[in-house]
Amino acid sequence: MADKKRANPKSLPIGYQERRRNDALERQRAARAEATNKARQFSIIDVDDDALLLTDSTIDDITTSEQQQSSSLPSSPSLYWSRQLTIPEWLIEIPSNLSSQWYIIPRPQGQRCLVTASKGRTTARTRSGSIFETFNSILPSGSPQTMKPSAECILDCVYAEDLCTYYVVDIMMWKGYDLCNCTAEFRQFWIHTKIQEDCPCGLDNNNSSGGSGIERAFVPLPAYQADAQGLAAAAPRANAMEEGEEEREPSCRNHYFPFIQDGVLLLHKEGHYTAGETTPLALLWKDAVCSHYYIDTDADGNIQQGQLVVLEYRHDADGTVVTGDTPPIVLAQMPDQFRSSPAIVRAIYQSSNSRNNGNKKVVRGRPVLLRFAIGPGGFQFHTDGDNEDCRPVGADLIFKGAANSRRGRADTLTKMLFQYSARRQPITFEDLMTAAASGGSGGEA
């Protein structure tokens, strides 16, 4: 078999991300079948058999399992919460069933948050797990007025500060009911029915205060069928340029939505919510029309001259640098002397020791994150002659220094490849429309 290495993601063998999606769906089906079999086994156990189950060996197994779970718990609450949001991949290959099996959701520009409502209080946490704000909300158990026993809610949201609104992207729990193992199709139905039923004032923050101290609205984002009509609704083109005017920076705000847009999210209808893991069943896409930040920018909002990526350095293992995927993907093996350089020693110390940084406490146990530039060699993939074994094997990396460990996680491979393609041969809106053109009727979920 012939070995090939391809640097340009656009030229990757067709089916790389598709195979990952199929594998993810197969794992879901297997997990569902296993859970069903366990439920059937429990259902046929007689009451008299219960005592037989708690043998010494069974108790030992339970104890061992609890000890293993306890030892694997994060060392801080913020580290725990940072592992609860799902991590979408970036679109590097258009799904073959885009128009029939996917939703497309416009994504607001703002702070992505994990919102929990419990015991009469609502808490929003950033992706790093730190508390963004605590407040009263109209959500069940989100304020003293709406507090009920066992009615906790957990939402995946984007907060638009200028509108004082949390836009609900996805839902993990509602009134104590776990929805993570439900399909995206069911979760979107739940979002658009239950929030309106249980929180009739939650759609308008002007009506939700009323002297009760509730000042934040919760608004479900529209989920369209990802056919041509849905794509046009979720990523409008009309306002990119005024008639007779030369091309300029788009406002990313249009008459469809009150918020400034930052791309779109694609959700596979059968996908589950995978907390803390990357999933190819949720995909991010953007272009210069529907996002101010199509190409990665620096802290001042300026487009970076070259592509920079953040990778995790496994200094205490094999000395490799890896992505933030599940499982991590190795992109390079660092030389032995690399670990002893002053910048790396300092980065290792900062990640492994708890310290105060102004008013914020940097938590012990975060990964060692390093910043690299992508050299002219780009990314390398191995594939056999039949394209059946396509996998990343490396990248042309130029070390630039330590990254902020508080971000909590390295970049995913698909984010790097999306940005790499965006500078060269991006997947365009026209590409998406062409792929979806053969689909059925559009409309909101």
Residue 316 has pLDDT above 80, yes or no: yes
| Contact between residue 107 and residue 261 where contact means Cβ atoms under 8 Å apart | yes
Q: Say what percent of the chain tops pLDDT 90.
A: 54
Residue 44 has pLDDT above 80, yes or no: no
Mean pLDDT of the chain: 81
Which of 176-185, 187-196, 388-397 comes out lowest in average pLDDT?
388-397
CB neighbours (10 Å) of residue 269?
Answer: 20
Report pLDDT for 35.
76
Spell out the domains of the chain, with CATH numbers in brackets: 4-10+296-431 (no CATH), 87-285 (3.30.470.30)
* Chain segment 160-169, per-residue pLDDT in tens: 999 999 999 9
Report pLDDT for 73.
53
Instruction: Give the distance, in angstroms, between the CA of residue 438 and the centroid of all CA atoms in the same chain.
Output: 29
Report pLDDT for 249.
44
User: What is the model's pTM?
Assistant: 0.83
Burial (CB count within 10 angstroms: exposed 0-12, middle 13-18, buried 19+), residue 310: buried
Which of 98-112, 203-217, 313-327, 346-360 comes out lowest in average pLDDT?
203-217
Q: Which helix (H) or strand (E) holds 184?
A: helix 184-198
Residue 396 has pLDDT above 50, yes or no: yes
Residue 372 has pLDDT above 60, yes or no: yes
Q: What average pLDDT does range 289-314 have in this prediction?
A: 88
| Contact between residue 262 and residue 107 where contact means Cβ atoms under 8 Å apart | yes
| Contact between residue 323 and residue 306 where contact means Cβ atoms under 8 Å apart | no
Q: What average pLDDT does range 326-351 have in this prediction?
A: 87
Residue 206 has pLDDT above 70, yes or no: no
Residue 332 has pLDDT above 90, yes or no: yes
Report pLDDT for 201.
59
The more confidently predicted of residues 154 and 3 is 154
| Contact between residue 216 and residue 165 where contact means Cβ atoms under 8 Å apart | yes
For residue 88, give the nearest of 78, 76, 102 by alpha carbon: 102
* Chain segment 66-75, per-residue pLDDT in tens: 455 444 555 6
Residue 248 has pLDDT above 60, yes or no: no
Q: Which helix (H) or strand (E) holds 266?
A: strand 261-268
Burial (CB count within 10 angstroms: exposed 0-12, middle 13-18, buried 19+), residue 85: buried
Report pLDDT for 388.
54
For 269, how many CA atoms within 13 A lie in the half-sphere containing its CB?
A: 13
CB neighbours (10 Å) of residue 97?
Answer: 14
Q: Where residue 202 falls among pLDDT bands split at 50, 70, 90?
A: low
Q: For tokens 């409008």, what's the residue?
A: 236
CA distance from start to end of the chain = 46
The more confidently predicted of residues 322 and 255 is 322
